[in-house]
Structure 1
Amino acid sequence: MIGTGPTREIVDWERTTEDGTTVYVIEYDEPVPEPSLRSGTLFGASSGGTVPEADRRITLPDGEQLPADEVVFDADGAVLEVRHEGSSLLRRIRRTLFPWW
């Protein structure tokens, strides 16, 4: 689950839609850093081995999983805002023509 850990738990969360974009506002019991899921490399570390960056997913409080390269984060103290930007045409073309990249 995004943002949780051994000492950080979710207190409350809300899923809304703003201008056609899905937004999750998640409140934790302590300050949360802005996640850094994107890297400059093709492969990123993950439990069980490496996963192509385009295949990384995040799990939200309602169980929905979103591709990590389609979300934008904004952290403010103990509140994390997760905005699902969706897949751009360029991303879809890249995934189709160059699935390893």
Structure 2
Amino acid sequence: GRPGEPGLDGFPGPRGEKGDRSERGEKGERGIPGRKGVKGQKGEPGPPGLDQPCPVDFPRYGGKQGAPGSQGLVRASGPCPMGPDGLPVPGCWHK
């Protein structure tokens, strides 16, 4: 007679051994930068400032202090009014 039909597939066989490792490939192109991260925590407060103005005399150079200089020219018709200290009123130059 004639041959019969093929049977069902059997169970898979055991896994083979791992192959040799190849050389490392070339590095790819750099992608587009991602989104900006969240804002960090606030830092520690700095040291306290000076309670007194900085000293004007320099003890390194020694010697006597000279006579005060003459007062500069005061412009009567300036764009800003002068304060009691002879300087323009604060905020006037910003306008």
The higher radius of gyration belongs to: 2
TM-score computed with the length of structure 1 as normaliser: 0.19
Which of the pair is proportionally richer in strand? 1
TM value normalised by structure 2: 0.20
